């Protein structure tokens, strides 16, 4: 089955059990989205062919994409090098809305899981969109001037993707959400009275920054007025997370392996009302990048020694222990959130507190996330839902904190990441230890992720998956098993779900045991859909069974896992001479 944003959004989450029929109806044979293409949508029909994808003379650039390839970071080259980081992205329709010929010629489905900006920019779709933007600019010579006057976080929208760029109408959505919800510097100071005035960094105006490249949805590489490179951090979809990270970095005591304090807060004059609000902040730039790509590349090159792996694990464990000692917690640990400095030391970043991907979550977090996803999908006041017990059970709150940032019982940050915030503080540490164990596994196996992921494809995909060990020394293996204790039997769980687990192969998905199915047939579609339904039904049954565990009643999760400090001490002991297995 071909991938699209709609399909990934459905199959990646347990609410698939509720979307099953909806997806069946949307992709039914009469729509032509599944099965052999008719002549009207065939690649052989000249009417459906893209004339050229040559962008040699294009005045636009694609830096990357998010939301499964339907939101792209498109940069107008004629406004460089003086373009401020305006957070303007290009949105397009779901890939299932294109004809089969367009999906094929534009690599539309192949690009859905890509997370590497360079790979995305080479897609036929990216080049086609650049040509469409060129055409629009030629038709509207004032467009770039209008572009500079859009509110921060506005959207460019191509509703229809067609073979002829002249037929693609560009809509501009002036989005005032960010600018109307910005808080002024003074209001944040009043809201956070515990931060002394002298601890605040200097204020910079957004227009004093120059965009170099957009790295992801919330991260842009910029140049300051002093021609220094820095990271501009601003979550256009949620200022709550931007402000949370700013507050954390301003209040967290310095640590060599935690992202340093912000270099500046960045303000912008709102185009609606004229207030000067904080739209983001500047952070130190680490040009080496994250461990996500460094680990597998250096593992393949043979330049990743056990001593380097151990040092990075020890440094990240020390950073986590430091964060938890302050009374905070960190829920987002993955290789892509660990940077390397110029001396090859690990630095923990990204403190937005959005929560982690399913494969990185301890069961006490994972299963509540399942319930939250089901609850968000069900209509209000549903009676006799087959998941009533699951929803009622996970509605129980063990300990929901009240942040100093807000006065309500549950702030928007907690609502987005309820599975972590609802844990008692001691259980949060044990959940962090579980994730740390998986991180140590990824480091010693040299992996970009703990397992292959249906929705995210990295430049070098994992060659093994947890809990399979190939390169990890015995002593480290024991520590990883201690950190991930009190979990389901992973080996038998995988064997039990092998027939229904879905795997991604480029832009297609198949049941793990049936990757030789014929492409784009109704029979394959039905097989994939049925396998997904079985997989998520089994997962939700496990989540419901977890409610019967004694840990759920008491909230004493991960009792058999070590503390963060114990993990740090164990890693330090393993680093002493003759304690590590030789390579």
- 294-310: pLDDT as tens digits: 999 999 999 999 999 99
Give the whole-angstrom CA distance, residue 189 versus residue 103: 50
Does the structure show a pLDDT above 60 at 573?
yes
The per-residue pLDDT for range 37-47, each reduced to its tens digit, is: 666 666 666 67
Nearest to 532 by CA among 572, 497, 496: 497
Listed in sequence order, the DSSP H helices in 279-362 are 291-301, 306-325
105 vs 421: CA distance, rounded Å = 45
**Residues forming a β-bridge with 229:** 223
Give CA 153 to chain center in angstroms: 18
Tell me what pLDDT residue 408 has. 42
Token digits of residue 285: 């730039």
Going from N- to C-terminal start, the domains of the chain cover: 36-174, 179-285
- Spatial distance between the Cα atoms of 310 and 581, rounded to a whole number of angstroms: 12
- Reported confidence tier of residue 499, pLDDT bands at 50, 70, 90: low
Lowest-confidence region among 19-28, 193-202, 330-339? 19-28
User: Residue 458 — very low, low, confident or very high, per pLDDT cuts 50/70/90?
Assistant: very high
Strand segments (E) across 39-145: 60-66, 71-76, 89-92
> 104: closest CA among 28, 39, 44, 25?
44
Q: Tell me: the pLDDT tens digits for 98-134? A: 888 888 889 999 999 999 999 999 999 999 999 999 9
359-403 pLDDT tens trace: 999 999 999 999 999 998 887 656 567 899 999 999 877 765 444
133-181 pLDDT tens trace: 999 999 999 999 999 999 999 999 999 999 999 999 999 999 999 999 9
pLDDT at 580 over 60: no
Rounded to an integer, what distance in angstroms lies between the CA atom of residue 288 and that of residue 341? 7
Per-residue model confidence (pLDDT) at position 29: 52
pLDDT of residue 134: 97
- Whole-prediction pTM: 0.93
pLDDT at 30: 47
- Do residues 72 and 20 make contact, with C-beta atoms less than 8 angstroms apart? no
Sign of CA dihedral 142, 143, 144, 150: positive
Kind and range of the H or E run holding 231: strand 229-233
528-568 pLDDT tens trace = 999 999 999 999 999 999 999 988 988 899 999 999 999 99
Domain 179-285 has CATH 3.30.200.20: yes
Closest CA to 347 of 336, 355, 358: 336
């Amino acid at each position: 089955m071909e991938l699209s944003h709609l399909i990934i959004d459905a199959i990646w989450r347990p609410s698939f059990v509720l979307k099953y029929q909806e997806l069946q109806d949307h992709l039914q044979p009469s729509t032509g989205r599944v099965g052999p293409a008719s002549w009207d949508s065939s690649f052989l029909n000249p009417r459906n062919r893209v004339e050229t994808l040559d962008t040699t003379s294009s005045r636009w650039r694609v830096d990357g994409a998010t939301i499964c390839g339907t939101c792209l970071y498109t940069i107008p080259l004629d406004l460089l090098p003086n373009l401020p980081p305006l957070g303007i992205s290009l949105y397009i329709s779901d890939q299932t809305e294109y004809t089969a010929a367009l999906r094929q010629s534009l690599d539309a489905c192949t690009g859905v899981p890509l997370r590497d900006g360079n790979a995305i920019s080479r897609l036929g779709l990216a080049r086609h969109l650049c040509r469409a933007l060129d055409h629009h600019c030629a038709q509207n010579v004032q467009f770039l001037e209008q572009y500079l006057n859009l509110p921060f976080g506005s959207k460019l929208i191509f509703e229809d993707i067609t073979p002829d760029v002249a037929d693609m109408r560009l809509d501009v959505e002036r989005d005032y959400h960010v600018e109307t919800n910005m808080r002024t510097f003074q209001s944040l100071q009043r809201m956070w009275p515990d931060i002394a005035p002298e601890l605040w960094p200097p204020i910079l105006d957004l227009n004093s920054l120059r965009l170099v490249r957009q790295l992801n949805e919330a991260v842009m590489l910029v140049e300051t007025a002093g021609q220094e490179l820095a990271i501009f951090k601003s979550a256009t979809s949620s200022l709550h997370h931007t402000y949370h990270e700013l507050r954390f970095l301003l209040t967290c005591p310095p640590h060599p392996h935690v992202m340093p304090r912000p270099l500046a807060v960045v303000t912008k004059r709102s185009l609606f009302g004229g207030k000067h609000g904080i739209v983001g902040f500047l952070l130190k730039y680490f040009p080496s990048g994250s461990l996500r790509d460094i680990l597998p590349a250096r593992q393949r090159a043979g330049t990743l020694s056990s001593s380097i792996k151990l040092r990075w694990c020890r440094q990240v464990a020390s950073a986590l222990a430091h964060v938890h000692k302050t009374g905070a917690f960190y829920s987002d640990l993955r290789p892509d959130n660990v940077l390397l400095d110029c001396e090859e030391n690990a630095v923990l970043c990204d403190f937005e507190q959005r929560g982690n991907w399913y494969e990185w979550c301890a069961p006490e977090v994972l299963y509540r996330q399942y319930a939250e996803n089901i609850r968000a999908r069900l209509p209000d006041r549903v009676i006799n839902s087959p998941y009533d017990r699951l929803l009622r059970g996970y509605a129980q709150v063990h300990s929901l904190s009240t942040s100093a940032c807000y006065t309500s019982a549950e702030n928007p940050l907690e609502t987005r990441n309820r599975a972590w915030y609802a844990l008692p503080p001691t259980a949060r540490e044990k959940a962090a230890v579980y994730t740390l164990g998986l991180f140590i596994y990824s480091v010693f196996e040299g992996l970009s992720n703990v397992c292959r992921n249906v929705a995210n494809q990295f430049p070098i995909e994992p060659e093994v998956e947890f809990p399979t060990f190939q390169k990890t020394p015995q002593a480290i293996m024991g520590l990883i098993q201690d950190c991930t204790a009190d979990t389901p039997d992973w080996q038998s769980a995988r064997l039990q779900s092998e027939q229904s687990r879905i795997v991604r192969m480029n832009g297609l998905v198949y049941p793990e045991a049936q990757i030789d199915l014929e492409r784009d047939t109704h029979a394959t579609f039905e097989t994939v859909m049925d396998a997904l339904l079985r997989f998520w039904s089994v997962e939700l049954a496990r989540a419901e069974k977890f409610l019967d565990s004694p840990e759920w009643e008491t909230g004493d999760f991960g009792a058999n896992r070590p503390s963060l400090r114990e993990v740090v001490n164990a890693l330090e002991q393993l680093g002493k001479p003759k304690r590590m297995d030789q390579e």
